[in-house]
Structure 1
Amino acid sequence: MIVVLALVLGVVAGLLLGPTAPDWLDPYLPVAVVAAVDAALGAARAGVEGTFDDREFVVSFASDVAIAVLLVLLGELVGFGGALSTAVVVVLGIRIFASATALRRALLSER
């Protein structure tokens, strides 16, 4: 219940305050969000399958986001940041759809 309340309060605060990110974060935010969604869907999948571990989730979440951002940073430094950013989003997108499919199968097989 506390988690849902915190989520609602966070969304309301974000809508009312309208925070903006600095321009230098623009290349990194999309891949960070996609990496976070990938980790969250992986956690949901593990929860339905009964293999969820909170420590593993926190490490996976932080490391997925950090690796995705570092890959985009490396691409920016080498001179092809847009291409590497697209590659990261495609790979994480594939993982998101795989997790969503497994989650759907697990939920439908319980009925």
Structure 2
Amino acid sequence: MTSDPRAALENLVAALQEHLAASAERRGDQDPRVEAAYIAVADTYEAYEAALYAAYDEVTPFELYDDVEDAREDDDVDDVDEDDLDLYGEEEDDHGITIDTNP
């Protein structure tokens, strides 16, 4: 892990580019190259954020989730805005991302 935020950012960008390339050439639902690239993005993102914080006492606006259940646990179901629901049981979060609300 590098403590230089610029080098860590370059590593993150390279990991994102590899993830894009792997995704574009995906060979099935559980393509090992895509899964490895996904993990590399998460790891290099954490390294970048740690370097950014160490150097400038700053963080990014992103949060990594271990899995989908962690993400859903963070959503407060009681605060659902009826305007964001559609007929198919989907909801848009505050960032315009569609979340399937059907179990």
Same fold per superposition (TM over 0.5): no
TM normalised by structure 2 equals 0.35
TM normalised by structure 1 equals 0.33
Higher RCO, 1 vs 2 (CA within 8 Å, ≥6 residues apart): 1
Structure with larger Rg: 2
Structure with bigger strand share is 2
